[in-house]
Structures are given as structure tokens and as C-alpha cells.
A and B are shown apart, each in its own frame.
Chain A
Amino acid sequence: MSLSDRLQSILNELRSALPDVRGALISSADGMLIAQNVSSGDSNRMAAMVATSLGLGKRMCESFGAGNLSETSVSGDAGQVFIYGAGSKGVLAVINPAGGNIGLLHLECRAAARRVAEVLG
């Protein structure tokens, strides 16, 4: 299986495990879209934005002595975006409607982020 097929299947499995999720994508740390399973919106733009958010989060962790960043999130009144570091090269982002089981979401997404990190090497 090619690298992009493997990443795509991680996203597909994540969507099956979390049916409420509205979309998931993987981008490089410098904001290039690598794989996506997003039904609406401009995923190239989203890929850049999640990389910006993760990049800024990393520097905040350094500045506040919080160690290496593992994840960050952005919440609105109608939805949330959870952003997970996937090794040093990748970013996994998941768009979720407001509410729902966040514990389960983190459990699935953290495992998926580890798999993405392994695939990206």
C-alpha cells in the first residue's frame, strides 16, 4: 500500500469509529495537505490553518515550560477542531460538532495520530 493509501485508510477508519465527526485531515507540519476525509470546506486552507495553530502551540509550550506540544483545540459554539501532532512532520485535525463524547474522540484520535507518525516516519 502506498503512503497516501495508508494515511487515507487511517482517516477512513477514524471516521467509521467516530460517526459524528464532520471531517478529518492530515497535513505536513508546514501546512501542505497530505490526506483528507472532509465533506465540506476548503481542505487545503484548513491544512494550512491547522499547521499554523500547531506551530504557534509548540512555541507557546516552549515559552511556558510545558514541554513538547501534543495537541491543541479550537472551540466555537457550533463545533470544535481538535489538532494533534503526529511526530515532528505531521498534523492530524478532526472537525467535530459541539458536544459529543470528547473522551472517546481523544482516545481514537491520539491512537490515529501515533499511526500517522509511524507512517510519516
Chain B
Amino acid sequence: MKISSLGKIFCGVVLLCAVGAVFGAERFPPPEFDSGYQQPTMVNPGARSNVLEYVDVAVLVAVMSLTCFLVYKKRSRKGIFWLMLGSILYFGFWREGCICSIGAIGNVVLSVFDTNYAIPLAGLLFFVLPLVFTLFFGRAFCAAACPLGAIQDIVLLKPVALPVWLAGTLRLFAYAYLAIAVLMAATGSAFVICRYDPFIAIFRLGGNVNMVVVGGCMLLIAVFVGRPYCRFLCPYGVILRQLSRVSRKRVTITPDECIKCRLCEDACPFGAINRPTAEWAEGDYRVNKKRLGVNILLLPVLVVVFGFAGYLLSGGASRAHVTVRLADRIYAEESGEVDDTTDASVAFRGTGMTIAELYGNAAKVQKQFVFGSILAGALVGLAAGVKLIRSSIQWKRSEYEADRAGCFSCGRCFKYCPIENVRLKKLSEQC
């Protein structure tokens, strides 16, 4: 086989340009600052126009609407793929990953707990609109509108199927992450989702080295494991999963009745295709019923135990808050644990606030953390308990179907269904 000459030339030119970008000399070297140089007046760029925020909202709505059309009406994986690319370019590289619905969790939570903080309307809409779409159409946002999901989806080359039990357990991380994110935002400590967005350095073509490495690793994993962030970490995904369970419409693998041909069995790289179940023996049912009862009784115990674990963690967690960190520093300086000062401690001593006031404020924050950590721990306990209960239920399914909670509406499975191929006239009904 031969590659065309034109193709070779094209590849060569593209690659040489890319290498030249790194080692090329400065075409316009920086100016030399001679003694006669006049320092230009500092000009602060103006704030981004509010109108553009609503343009972002309009684009989000348009992408999600188009996704629904492509998933439910056209059943087009290609269309979704190109839409994902568009989202990566617009919400990712153009908007540099901000504003995003996932990060908006922090803004919404803080606006609820801090009366002095007002969330911008666009931010609120970014949080609410995907939820509304999910209630009606499943995870349309995850399918193509989310740049984080889209970039992972696009780099997926050689999917490795994770065992269901492992995927289910790893998903607990997402619940823990959601709990931590809400706790940190509610206490005004940090927007951890935004701060630790693994793809932000990629979208911004630079940033903290650690985040570049984390983002690179996450993408490398995504080459083999479908959407690892979405499935095992995304806190917004936790909410979308629950809403998607009760969505009005849901993705179906086949456009008609399932013929149980098993062709789609391994089509989903995200493990979101549920197989038909077989009948169990009577003895198995009895054992399973008992187990279910035990696990139901265990649920409140797990909630309490994990709530207590949250309480134990609250002291350490509260150090995420700037007031507690500052109090720790001042405490260390006052008690002679350290000999030097930091910029923060010097600045504090210049504020006029007394140490007792600082300790008082830190104590208040610690109390908030105690309460919040108990709730956060309880949430994780609840998630683990429910998972145990779900694993004790004998589900009954008669055909292959997309998992309502886990399906990202990516449309990959469509082409595996012979009924779909008949619909598309790629196969005749006789075949």
C-alpha cells in the first residue's frame, strides 16, 4: 500500500511547522529598555461584557438541544462527535473551561450559605439548565455539552472494560468529592472543583505544573478507561445520575424491540449497558432477601459511622479555611513552635484584629466544619449503604438496555444494533 505523495507532503509540512514552533528564534525580540525608554501607562482590561455571559448560556442551551435532537431523533453518533468537538473548542479552549456547570456547584452552594455572596445569573443558569435537561432527556449535558467529558470521550482509543463491581466502588469517590466540594464551598474555604479541575491547564495551554501533569495523566487514563473523571470523580455527575434515573426520556440501544442478538453487549466503553437477567433458583431468592434486609438495616449504621468519621476529620478539614490556617500560624508563632513569620501572619498583625478575635473566628469556622463534616460523612455513608443495598437486589431485565443513570448518551451503541442498521437501510430486514 502506498500513501499518496500529496499526503506525505502535507504531513511533512504540518510536522515541520510544529517542531519549528518550539525551537524557532524570536521573530520580534523583546524591546531593549534603554535609558530613554518611556514606561507605557498601565491599562486594565475591561470586564467581560454581561451580554457575552448570556451568549454562553444560549450556546449551552443550543448544544444540549441539538444533542437531544441527535440522540433521540437522528440517533447519530457522528453528529454527537462533532458537537463534542465544538464544545471542546468553545467551552474548553475559547472560554478556557470557565464558566462550567460542574464548577458552578461551588458558586451555588456558597450563595446559599453566604448571604454576602451573590451568584451571577449566568452561573446559576449553567448549574440549573443541565439539571432540567437531564430530568427530561437524560444526560444530554454529559453527552456533548461538557468540555471535560468531551475531551475524555474523544481521546478514548482502546477501551478497557472495568469490572462492574470495581466501577461501582470507584464511583464512591465521586460522592466523597461532591461532599467535600459542598463542604468547602459552604464554609467559604475553597472552590475545590474549580481549583482541581484536571483539564483546565490543557484548555488554557499552560498553568501549574502539577495540574498539567494531573491533566495529562487523566487524559492518558482516558485513552484506555472511558471518561474516568466523569464516572469516578465528577461531583456534578453524581447529581445528574440521580436525576437521569427518573428522566422522562431515555436512550435506547435499539430503535425497536430488542432481539437479544448480543451484538451490543460490549459496545459501551463506560459499562452502561445492562444485560438481560436470568431467573434465579428459589433458594437464592431467600438468601438474597435476607441479605437485602441486613443491608437495609445496615444503612443507618453506615450513615452514623461515616458521619462520625466526618466528625473526626473535621479538625484537619477545617485547615482548608484561610482563617483556621492563619490562626494555626499565629498560634504556632505565639506558642514559640516557630521562630519566623509569614506574609500572612505579618499582614494579620497589621489589621488591628486581636488574636483572641482571630481564634474566635477560627473556632466558629471549626464548628461549621464539625457540622458540615458530619453531613458530608453521612452522605458518603449513605452512598455506600445504598450501593450495598442495590447489589443485594435481584434486578429483572428482559433485554439489553442503557443504564439510566450511567448512560452518557454518547450514541456509540447505536451502530451495533442490527435493527438500527435496518432502520438506516445499511442492512435489509432479511439479513
A and B part of one assembly: no
Chain B residues near A (Cβ < 8 Å): none
